[in-house]
Amino acid sequence: MIYLEKFMFPDLEDDTLYFDEPKGSFYDENTYPFHLTSELGLWSLDFEPLTILYGGNGSGKSTIINVISQKLCADRQSMFNSSPYFDEFVSRCQFKASDTLAGETIYKGHREPQKYDISQITTVLTSDDIFHSMLDQRLENDKKLKKSHFLMDEYREPEELPRHLNFETGYNVDKFKRGVEMRQARNSMRHGNKTFNKILLDKIGKMERGFSNGETALMKLSELLEAPGLYLLDEPENSMSCEFQIKLASIISYLARYGKCQFLISTHSPFILSMENAKIYNLDQHPVGICKWWELDNMKRYFDLFYGSRDKFLSK
């Protein structure tokens, strides 16, 4: 499924882009990200169900993801590094969405309303989102642990019930209920009806098992990718072992083929890069070109490493 067909970046040589702005104002070296795509020789991206941005650190993969997400008003959680010129750059970008499910198409200066808004079906997920999800889970477990220690101290210390209650004013009512509750809990434990762990479970809920970064990332992505739509994934393989990267590539391939999902991914992962039918833009090539995964420099280095040690893998 293709929701986003084409994305176009501004051309600094095109005078028609500048309107009332002085032409030289965007030629300054500090006007990030104006020079990024022009220096790469990248003026547009044409998308397939699986499109990948490949390049070394600092090549601009994440910036391009951020520009596209801002232009499409996509749903995202983590913030990103911007600049005073970022919104200006984004405003001068254009995109062409599918006629079948897109939203407002902006192409060659013309706006054409569609049945659906592309922003409503576009989601961004970054490695920072995975980290925050993992951190939120740990913080929630910490809260439950602290509450369990507090309850343990309360239940172990016998408490006398207040003798005077006033239901009209509420005086001592909560304290009385709390005391009765603790006595009942201690009696249940004494007669074997309930363990202390079961009482804690009823009160504070189950402690979630601590998952590894890779497990958290894969679960987060699996939950996120349930609905059809356009997904912008910025290095989703971070913190994943080879095993989880293979599983992730399998999920993405399946959803792109059968799940009515379209993906734009920035990645270094050989398992994601080698997905069948993926269109790969090589940002290490100037001007940016479309490559097969086995033509990429990193893949050649992997090949050289393993081929040079093939006797160790093939030995009995």
Amino acid at 114: Q
Q: Are 93 and 106 in a shared domain?
A: yes
In angstroms, what CA-CA distances link 162 with 124, 159, 166, 168?
56, 9, 11, 16
Q: Are 284 and 234 in a shared domain?
A: yes
Q: Are 94 and 161 in a shared domain?
A: no
Alpha carbon distance 271, 274 (integer Å): 5
Among residues 180, 204, 228, the one where a domain terminates is 204
Alpha carbon distance 266, 256 (integer Å): 16
Backbone angles phi, psi at 225, to 5 degrees: -90, 25
Q: Are 177 and 294 in a shared domain?
A: no
Q: Are 118 and 237 in a shared domain?
A: yes
Q: Are 174 and 227 in a shared domain?
A: no
Q: What is the DSSP string of 139-205?
A: HHHHHHHHHHHHHHHHHHS--PPPS--BTTTTBTHHHHHHHHHHHHHHHHHHTTSS-HHHHHHHHH-
- What is the count of structural domains for the chain? 2
Q: Which domain holds residue 254?
A: 4-130+211-314
3-state helix, strand, coil in the chain (%, to 5): 45, 15, 40
CB 44 within 8 A of CB 9: yes
Among residues 164, 189, 204, the one where a domain terminates is 204
Q: Are 18 and 100 in a shared domain?
A: yes
Q: Are 146 and 112 in a shared domain?
A: no
The CATH number for 106's domain is: 3.40.50
Backbone angles phi, psi at 180, to 5 degrees: -65, -40
Which is it for strands 289-291 and 279-282: parallel, antiparallel or unpaired? antiparallel
Among residues 204, 229, 248, the one where a domain terminates is 204
Q: What is the pLDDT along the chain (316 residues), one digit of tens a residue?
A: 899 999 999 876 654 444 455 445 555 566 778 888 888 889 999 999 999 999 988 888 999 999 999 999 887 766 666 677 888 889 889 999 887 654 445 545 555 555 457 888 898 887 676 655 554 555 454 554 555 555 555 555 555 666 666 766 767 767 677 666 666 666 665 544 455 455 555 555 554 455 566 666 677 677 777 788 899 999 888 878 898 889 889 989 988 988 889 999 999 999 999 999 999 999 999 899 999 999 999 999 999 999 999 898 887 6
Q: What is the pTM of this model?
A: 0.69
Cβ-in-10-Å burial (0-12, 13-18, 19+) of 54 comes to buried
Q: Are 247 and 286 in a shared domain?
A: yes
